[in-house]
Chains A and B, each alone.
Chain A
Amino acid sequence: MNAGHAQIEAILAQLNRVILGKDAQIRLCLACLLARGHLLIEDIPGVGKTTLAHGIAKTLGLSFQRVQFTSDLLPADVLGVSIFDRETGKFRFQRGPIFAQLVLADEINRASPKAQSALLEAMEEHQVTLDGQSMALPEPFFVIATQNPQDQVGTFPLPESQLDRFLMRVHLGYPAAAAERELLSGIDRRDLVKTLQTILTADSLRQLQESVLQIHVSPALLDYVQALVAHTRRAPGANAGLSPRAAIGMLRAARAWALICGRSAVIPEHVQAIFPAVVEHRVRQRGSDEVAASRLLEAVPVP
């Protein structure tokens, strides 16, 4: 536990050096990965989404692939293709970029729904099926997708069913003034990423993920999570509440957050910390685009 927490502190410290002034977002990203969830980063270009993904891959010691989603991207470009080998006279499978431990799907909402769904199925099943043949994806397997805000031209917004597969959605946002000055004065971030140290091995990452499941959850806290989930379903103006899958993911994310905070049990504050990231892309409100997570939180008393 303590060793695990020290590792986490080191990871956070290192990532904070790359992305300045975004401690909370970085913690959320890490919690999402420790909870074995996929991450959606939504923001305008140029705030460091790709850099963050790079940094995480490097720090956690994961194999990294990046796919730039464009409107003419085909599923094969993501998953891979079978190519006829003249020498052997057989089809040989050429693996696509998805066969990596951390896949960065850049600007996922620029691709056609067909290409999007190829990725999203792989995310859910942790395997790829082509020509009737199933191939397991490497373990651990994370997808960090980025998307531009949807009011930009030429995008295919992800349908709600697809959004549900991302455990969290995080906004990075512009850096604060001090962080931005430091950013301007410092060296290029991409160069910095190359210098990062690998802190975790595949084994220790798995251990950390295991210890997320060891975090204690009391009945009172289960009540609270359930009350929150139930409230999203009947809150005035909400179109659709959280799915049971989302509820399970929320509890797991809260455990990961407790682990990051160095606690052995989940307390309501942990749930509240991850709640906006888990809920806001799932629960849509009639009229406006999204539901304010803080309003939902305020409506449910802590047991």
Chain B
Amino acid sequence: MKKLLKPIEPILSKGFDRVESFIHTHRSVKFLFGSIFGAFEGLVRGTKETTQTQPFIRNNYDVKRFMGAVLVALVIGWVFPAIYFYGWQCVISKLIVSLIIGVFVVDVLWAIIAREEHISEGGFVSCLLVPAILPPQSPLWLTGLGAAFAIIFRNVMGGVGNNLVNPAIFSRLFLTICFPSLLVTGYQTPFVGIPDLHSLRYGLDAVTHATPLTAFKTSGEVASFLSLLFGTAAGSLGETCRLALILSGLWLIKIKVVNWRIPVSYLGSVLVLSVFFSLVMGKTVAPPLFQLMSGGLILGAFFMATDPITATYSQNSKWIFGAGCGFVTVLIRNFTTLPEGVMYSILLMNLLSIPIQSLMVKIKYRI
């Protein structure tokens, strides 16, 4: 790779220099395209800045690599399995629409209007999550709208680093309110078996099935553990193959992008509480393992609740944050009319993370 790139380096570098000097000499051009150029340059070219204060050397780990790791984990965790289960036509088109509308239209326009200095790479993560939490048969425009909402919400709240709640989940909440019918239907039955060309493209044609949690709510039917683990039960586009999600989530924990305390406390509290309620109330509540493996819990616990910006900062309060998510999830799933509560629980705990954080800091430092 290095050798392949070597001959084009001087040409590219010269080109960048020329464009950069052109942009900086023309104000209107800088106003319109400065941030896009900055973002593109940041992907290809390193920075010029040197350290001015101690320590004079820095680690070569930056936010781009941090977000890149999440992107890789998401692609392995849901994009590849979803292509197998629902066909590439469904998955790829949604991804393209989501990324183009979210990152290349809304984020770029925002950068121009709000005169931001650079476009953040965090938008890719949000836009990769938006299709994952929508039903497989949801229309393309819904995905685009979701991505646009996510990016707008995030930027309104101050951009990456200042957002109060997870933008992808917030946009799904918005879509649930605006288009409730589109979000409760369209759960396509995943394709199972040896894939052929037709299935790789379309999946299983337009056969829909209720999600395991809805099925339990209406008829008391419990899906098998293995079907949930491998993803052969219906569900949102990215949440079905729990095995891939768990493996990529564990990889993120290993490279310290995801803090292990949140998935452990989230899944642990769901398990403990569902065991408790099963013992107390018997068959009216869903069995513990079924609760653990169904719905968006695994995706939420490994990829959404762990978003470092919206979770609490200090290590001890992460336990409370995760446990709170689990508590709300179990409550909503078992004692309300809603079948699934991961989205609401993460949103609620995102909002509560600020008081939890300040309380824990006060206790720790005895202020």
Are A and B a genuine interacting pair, yes or no?
no
Seen from chain A, the residues whose Cβ lies within 8 Å of a Cβ on chain B are none
